[in-house]
Structure formats: structure tokens, C-alpha cells
């Protein structure tokens, strides 16, 4: 895998783009802090961008499944650069309206970029390397998040917001250039086996593959529902993803609350550091975790660890327990999301990848907003201790119900049926 030039292009592009993204996020927060006094208005501005990503999801999925995925990545990368131009106008005119345009255009580009990237990953490596690449890919994004936020915080003291956005623009430009060197043979992939076509199809096989891919693409998102009916394991993992998303959605609010409980502002940086380090360590080891069992069984295990981390936060007033909880959470999500991405890439037929990953991105965005709002409400009404207790119990209940449901399905399945988990 490490001799594959495409792998290095994807990982380097993710790291560079991540640096640009997180530097621009810090710059955005600084801009809003200076000009938007209301926290509610700030949340509305952020939600406007996320809603734009949801709105473009159906179109993005259909486009990714009908045109070259590399072309989608190139145009989406160019769209990111264009979005930064809107922020330059916002700075020049001191305009919140142009900042909203920036958020909308950035999230619209992301609605195309990330599902296309998830569709490309199984095209550049073999099945046996898919989980390892997803793990390292997540590590690249985590490193970019840690370094990008740290670097932006330091640079804000020595340069203007214009300088930070220029660095973000440069990062997106490097991503665009690196994507040009990506070589994707969309007909010569491990996913071809999903259609009964061996790797390296000739002209006749390629034409047959095209015929099968074109029909479903014309139905847009309507094809996702029957797909989930024929792939119950995929639906199970989508539901299981709710468990880590609940923690992630309230992550920043919980960090702030823990800091207040312990009367220690410095604990916030420690919590972020422990969580990020755990994610990185797990990303390198995730392939080993899946060797002795199916991906689905490991996903259930990681989900249980997330529930355990939530329950540990009942003792969040003790620094050691809160750090342990965030370490366990980092370990769990560092394994969960690469394993989930690998299962989706393997079990969902290639012709549906664009629409499926766009659909998943839309679900994540909507769920994230719902969790963010509910976490804020619960922290104000019942407090952190009661909230994490309920989150932990409900997470265990959901994991248990899905495990029983999956076990019953496996028992009912005929011995001759094929299933990948």
C-alpha cells in the first residue's frame, strides 16, 4: 500500500486541506467574535452552512455516480478556493452577509468533495488494504486538526485574518494541484466483484458494468431505500453510528462544562490532546483489531467503548476520570469510523457510492445539529452528570437492540446466502 502513489496523494491532500480548513475555522471564529455579539446568531450562521451541505447532498450523490470522481474532486477543490474569495470580500466590507456566502459555498463544495473521496478510496487500494488506509486517512485528518488549530492560534498573534485566509487559500490550491496527479481507474477496482466482473475488465466487461451502473444512477436518492433493504448490515451500521455521533455532537459543550466543573481552564487542552492522541494510535492499530473477527463485531465493540466513555463522565469532576473517558472515546472513534467506512465501501455496490456517501453525509449533518441543540438543552436543565448517564444507558440499549436484531437476522438467513460483515 505504501508504494502506491495514489495513497500518498490522498493522504497528503487530506493533511494539507485539513490544515487549511482548521486555520480558516479559527479565523472564522475570530471574525464572528469581533462582529457578532450574540451566540444564537453565531449558531445560525454556522447552521446556514450546514444546511447548504444538506441541500446539495442529493445533487452531489447523483453527480458523483454519473461523472468521473476525479473531476468531481477537482471542481470541489476549486470551489473551496472560490469560497475563500468570498471571505476576503467579507473582511474588506466588514460584512456578515458575505461570511454567510462563504459558509454556504464552502459547505456546498464539501458536499461534493467528501462523498467523492470516500468513493475514490476503494478504487486505489485492494480490499485487504482498505481498512488500513481508512485508519491512516482518519489520522491525517486528526493531525491536521491538531496542528491547524494550534498553528492558527499562534499565527493570530503575529498576522491579520487576511494572512490566515491566504494560508488557507494556499492549502486548498495545493490540494487542487495534488488531485491532478491522482490516477483512478474506475473500472479496474476491487468493487468490480460486486457486479460479478473480475478486476481488469476488457471492453466487453466494462460495457456491461456501465450498463448496470447507469440505470440506478437515474433514480437518484430513491435508489437508497431499496439498497438498504437488500443490505441490512449497512442499515445496522448506519444506526450504530448514532452512538459516537451523540458524543461528537456535544463534544465542545461537554469540554467547556468539564472545565467549569473542575475550575480549571487548562483541562480543555488536555482533553483535546488525549482524545486526538488516542485516535491517532488507534488508527495505526485498527487493522489488527479486525483480524480476529468481522468488521461488524468490532463496530459493536467500539460502540460499547463509546457508551463506556459516556458513563465514565459521570465522574467528570475528577480530572483523571475525565481524561480517561476522553482517551477511551478517542480509542473507540479511531477504530469505529475507519471500520464503518470500510464496511460501507465493501458492501455498497460501486454504482451507488456517490449517492450513499452523500446520503450518509446529510444524515451526519442533520444528526449533529440535533445532538448539539439537545446537548445544550440538557446541560442547562439536568446537568452534565445526568445527561451522560442517560446518553450512556441509551447507547447501551441501542447497541444491545441492534446486536439482537442482527443475531436474529443471521439465524434466519439461509446457509447458502452470502453476506459480508
Q: Which pLDDT belongs to residue 129?
A: 74
Please state, for a pLDDT cut of 70, what percent of the chain lies above it. 84
CB 352 within 8 A of CB 65: yes
pLDDT of residue 51: 79
Q: Given the C-alpha cell 456578515, which residue does it identify?
A: 96
Task: Provide, for the chain, the percentages of residues in helix, strand and coil under a 3-state DSSP scheme, each rounded to the nearest 5.
Answer: 85, 0, 15
Domain spans in the chain, listed from the N-terminal domain onward: 1-186, 223-410
pLDDT of residue 123: 79
Q: What is the CA radius of gyration of the chain?
A: 22
- Cβ count within 10 A of residue 331: 21
Q: Which residue has the cell 453565531?
A: 42
* pLDDT for residue 167: 85
Strand (E) positions, 255-392?
A: none
Do the domains spanning 1-186 and 223-410 agree at the CATH topology level? yes
What distance in Å separates the CA atoms of residue 396 and residue 169, rounded to the nearest whole number?
43
Q: What is the pLDDT of residue 41?
A: 67
Residue 420's pLDDT is what? 41
What is the dotted CATH code of the domain comprising 1-186? 1.20.1250.20
Query: H or E segment at 175?
Result: helix 161-180
Q: What is the pLDDT of residue 373?
A: 76
Class of domain 223-410: mainly alpha
Contact between 405 and 283 under an 8 Å Cβ cutoff? The reply is no
pLDDT < 50: residue spans in the chain = 188-217, 418-421
Give counts: helices (H), strands (E), the chain: 16, 0
Q: How far apart are CA 84 and CA 86, in angstroms?
A: 5
What per-residue confidence (pLDDT) applies to 349?
81
Residues 172 and 51: their CA atoms lie apart, in Å, by 22
Contact 132, 88 (CB under 8 A): no
d(CA 150, CA 146): 6
**Contact yes or no for 44/195 (Cβ under 8 A):** no
For 27, 74, 86, the CA distances from 91, given in Å and listed in that order, are 11, 27, 9
418 by DSSP, 3-state: which?
coil
Instruction: Specify the pLDDT at position 304.
Output: 94
276-327 residue pLDDT tens:
888 888 877 766 665 556 778 888 999 999 999 999 999 988 889 999 999 9
Predicted pLDDT at 186: 64
pLDDT tens digits along 157-182? 777 888 888 888 888 888 888 888 87
What whole-number distance in Å separates Cα of residue 396 and Cα of residue 142? Answer: 27
What is the residue-wise DSSP string for 187-226? TSSGGGGGGT--SS--HHHHHHHHHHHHHHHTTGGGGHHH
Whole-structure pTM value: 0.72
**Contact by Cβ (8 Å): 118, 341:** yes
Amino acid at each position: 500500500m505504501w508504494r502506491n502513489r495514489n495513497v500518498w496523494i490522498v493522504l497528503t491532500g487530506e493533511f494539507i486541506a485539513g490544515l487549511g480548513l482548521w486555520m480558516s475555522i479559527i479565523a472564522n471564529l475570530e471574525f464572528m467574535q469581533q462582529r457578532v455579539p450574540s451566540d444564537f446568531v453565531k449558531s445560525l450562521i454556522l447552521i446556514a452552512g450546514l444546511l447548504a451541505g444538506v441541500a446539495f447532498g442529493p445533487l452531489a450523490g447523483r453527480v458523483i455516480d454519473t461523472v468521473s470522481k476525479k473531476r468531481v474532486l477537482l471542481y470541489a477543490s476549486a470551489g473551496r478556493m472560490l469560497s475563500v474569495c468570498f471571505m476576503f470580500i467579507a473582511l474588506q466590507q466588514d460584512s456578515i452577509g458575505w461570511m454567510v456566502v462563504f459558509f454556504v459555498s464552502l459547505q456546498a463544495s464539501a458536499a461534493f468533495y467528501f462523498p467523492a473521496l470516500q468513493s475514490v478510496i476503494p478504487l486505489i487500494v485492494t480490499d485487504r488494504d482498505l481498512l488500513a488506509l481508512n485508519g491512516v486517512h482518519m489520522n491525517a485528518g486528526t493531525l491536521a486538526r491538531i496542528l491547524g488549530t494550534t498553528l492558527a492560534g499562534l499565527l493570530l498573534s503575529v498576522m491579520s485574518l487576511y494572512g490566515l485566509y491566504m494560508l488557507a487559500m494556499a492549502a486548498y490550491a495545493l490540494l487542487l494541484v495534488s488531485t491532478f496527479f491522482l490516477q483512478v481507474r474506475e473500472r479496474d477496482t476491487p468493487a468490480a466483484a460486486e457486479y460479478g466482473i473480475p478486476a481488469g475488465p476488457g471492453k466487453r466487461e466494462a460495457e456491461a458494468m456501465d450498463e448496470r451502473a447507469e440505470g440506478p444512477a437515474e433514480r437518484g436518492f430513491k435508489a437508497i431505500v431499496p439498497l438498504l433493504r437488500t443490505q441490512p448490515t449497512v442499515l445496522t451500521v448506519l444506526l450504530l453510528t448514532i452512538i459516537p455521533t451523540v458524543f461528537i455532537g456535544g463534544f465542545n459543550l461537554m469540554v467547556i462544562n468539564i472545565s467549569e466543573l473542575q475550575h480549571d481552564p487548562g483541562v480543555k487542552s488536555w482533553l483535546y490532546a488525549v482524545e486526538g492522541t488516542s485516535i491517532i494510535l488507534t488508527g495505526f492499530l485498527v487493522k489488527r483489531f479486525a483480524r480476529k473477527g468481522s468488521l461488524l463485531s468490532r463496530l459493536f465493540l467500539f460502540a460499547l467503548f463509546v457508551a463506556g466513555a459516556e458513563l465514565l463522565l459521570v465522574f467528570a469532576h475528577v480530572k483523571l476520570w475525565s481524561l480517561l473517558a476522553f482517551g477511551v472515546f478517542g480509542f473507540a472513534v479511531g477504530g469505529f469510523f475507519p471500520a464503518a467506512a470500510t464496511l460501507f465501501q465493501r458492501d455498497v455496490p460501486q454504482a451507488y457510492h456517490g449517492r450513499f456517501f452523500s446520503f450518509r453525509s446529510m444524515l451526519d449533518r442533520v444528526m449533529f445539529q440535533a445532538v448539539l441543540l439537545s446537548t445544550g438543552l440538557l446541560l442547562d436543565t439536568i446537568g452534565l452528570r445526568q445527561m451522560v448517564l442517560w446518553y450512556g444507558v441509551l447507547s447501551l440499549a441501542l447497541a444491545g437492540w441492534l446486536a439482537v436484531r442482527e443475531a436474529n437476522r443471521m439465524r434466519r438467513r439461509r446457509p447458502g446466502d452470502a453476506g459480508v460483515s
